[in-house]
């Protein structure tokens, strides 16, 4: 930053402001939504609201997440996407209630991901896309409850087998990484599609009537698939292609526009 030029002045978040930003979700959970507020530092006052179930600090200018984030012991949903974060605190491993973690579109490197992530035994979704990861921490392979992982738009040359073979993994987005071979990304995607072609019995073990019913159901499914592919295709793994449905892939795009007079 040039000498004499001040950085962006963040909005001051008071306890009263934070309390007014608490919303009730459709399933009755308390969500503290402080997104898109121009916050430059993690607001310490919200540490008095640690009973919330969800915390959204996305689309701000935050550079550091404090160790005290672990005080949110009830938190099941944490969204930090589109900030300037380059490191997650080790204490994040103590937030064992977390089911969803989105830290996409930040400045995270592989060294900025603590080993303690492997303590998030209940987590279902992790989005690390749009960062600067040159390798994936093998500790993610210990998270056996993972259903969705976003690793798109990083600097990865490979993905550990321990991740692509996670037992409950349904969606793995590795698009736009510099893999040695173009087909490598597709290979990882194919490994997750292993459940799409699961057959419990062989044709020879079915009676004629059952076999016809199965064939008719398969033909109907194939017809639906062919109709779907004829229409414009939506992005695979749309929930993790971008930070969320409204986010820009370029941080500066929305930051410049939001701070202009």
DSSP secondary structure of 62-91: -----GGGGG-TT--EEE--SS------GG
pLDDT tens per residue across span 72-112 = 999 999 999 999 999 999 999 999 999 999 999 999 999 99
Query: What confidence score (pLDDT) does residue 169 get?
Result: 96
**CA angle, corner 92, sides to 173 and 50, nearest 5?**
115
Q: Give tens-digit pLDDT for 125-154.
A: 999 999 999 998 888 999 999 999 999 999
Q: What is the pTM of this model?
A: 0.71
Is 181 a residue whose pLDDT tops 50? yes
Going across the sheet that includes 125-127, the strands are 22-24, 30-33, 54-56, 77-79, 100-102, 125-127, 148-150, 171-173
Reported as a single tens digit per residue, the pLDDT across 13-26 is 999 999 999 999 99
């Amino acid at each position: 930053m040039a000498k004499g030029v001040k950085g962006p002045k963040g909005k001051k978040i008071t306890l009263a402001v934070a309390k007014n930003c608490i919303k009730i979700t459709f399933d009755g959970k308390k969500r503290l939504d402080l997104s898109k507020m121009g916050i430059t530092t993690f607001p310490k006052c919200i540490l008095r609201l640690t009973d919330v179930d969800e915390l959204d600090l996305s689309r701000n200018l935050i550079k550091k997440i404090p160790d005290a984030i672990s005080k949110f012991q009830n938190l099941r949903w944490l969204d930090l996407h589109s900030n300037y974060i380059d490191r997650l605190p080790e204490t994040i491993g103590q937030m064992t209630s977390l089911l969803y973690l989105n830290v996409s579109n930040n400045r995270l490197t592989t060294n900025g991901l603590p080993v303690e992530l492997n303590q998030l035994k209940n987590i279902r979704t992790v989005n690390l896309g749009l960062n600067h990861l040159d390798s994936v921490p093998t500790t993610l392979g210990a998270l056996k409850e993972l259903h969705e992982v976003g690793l798109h738009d990083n600097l990865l040359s490979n993905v550990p087998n321990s991740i692509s073979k996670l037992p409950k993994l349904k969606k793995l987005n590795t698009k736009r990484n510099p893999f040695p071979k173009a087909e490598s990304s597709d290979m990882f995607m194919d490994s997750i599609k292993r459940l799409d072609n699961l057959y419990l019995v062989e044709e020879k073990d079915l009676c004629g009537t059952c076999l016809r019913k199965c064939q008719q159901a398969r033909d109907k499914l194939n017809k639906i698939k062919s109709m779907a592919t004829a229409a414009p295709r939506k992005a695979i793994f749309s929930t993790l292609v971008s930070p969320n449905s409204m986010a820009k892939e370029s941080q500066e795009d929305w930051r410049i526009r939001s701070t202009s007079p």
